[in-house]
Amino acid sequence: MDSKKVIPRLAKFVISKLEKSAGFFSQLFFSINHYIYARKNNHYFLLDTNEWLYKHNYGWNDYFVPPYVGNVDNIDDSTFQDIKTVKFFDILEDYSIEEYKKYIPEFFQYNTNLKHKINEVKSQLKISTNEYGAIYIRRGDKLFYESKLITIDNYIELLLEKYPNCKIIYLQTDDYTCFEELEEYIKQNNLNIRAITLCSNTQRGTLVSRAPNIITTQIKKNEEYVEKVRTRLHQTTEIVNMSNEQIKEHTMEMLMSLDITLSSKVCVTDFQS
């Protein structure tokens, strides 16, 4: 819907507020819940991204097309009487996975700049849709409380089981150590596979914020690995302390990498976090 369209004064609104208190996709799926509620109940939907952790200049519009109406700063909410403002962790109604699958494509639409960057990177990597395999591994602060360390062989073996003729593996990760492990596995097993990633060799895990007991883990299985990357994790800038330009670079890389992963023939990940 065009954000410049004249909106009736008595229109009903759902305003979903994105904040600094959680990661990108943690917040995203709550906002999609709010969006589905608005669409199914014939309400207007707005995103308030003024305080969003991933805001560079404009908030949501830095990366995406505004869903349904547009950002909250396009509307003077004092002129409307029926406004429901909801935040992270607020669930308006329970919806099936099929309903999420239906509405995500119209909510999650790249803007022109991001589309261009994605196509440019795919061309540089020399990859085409459905002609490579992908692995997604998130480490960093997920290993402190939520996820058990899964070694790279588990991912590769499952990928090759599903896609035996795979000649290219794209790795989406926040920890370059995973890419080093992937290349070592390929070398040791004499596999004719090209490994690629957008992850920088300086990245050793994402930290959303720095906890008081930083660089420790509550999961015993992860202790050896966390100790191995401890020094580099200490040097990592948390997302909450990144500059505007660092936020833009981090978020663009994450979204480009996600699109590459989704365009693969087979993707292997885990169900932990």
Q: How far is the C-alpha of 58 from the C-alpha of 72, rounded, in Å?
A: 11
Q: What is the mean pLDDT of the chain?
A: 87
Decide: helix, strand or coil at residue 34: helix
CA distances to 57, 153, 238, 257 from 243, rounded to whole Å, are 12, 36, 10, 21
Backbone torsion region of residue 49, taken as left when φ is above 0, otherwise alpha when ψ lies between -120 and 50, otherwise beta: alpha
More confident residue, 99 or 240: 99
Q: How confident is the model at residue 10 (pLDDT cuts 50, 70, 90)?
A: low
More confident residue, 216 or 171: 171
Note the pLDDT of residue 130: 97
More confident residue, 256 or 8: 256
Q: What pTM did the predictor assign?
A: 0.85
Residue 255: CB atoms within 10 Å: 19
pLDDT digits (tens, 9 = 90+) for 20-32: 988 899 899 999 9
Q: How confident is the model at residue 1 (pLDDT cuts 50, 70, 90)?
A: very low
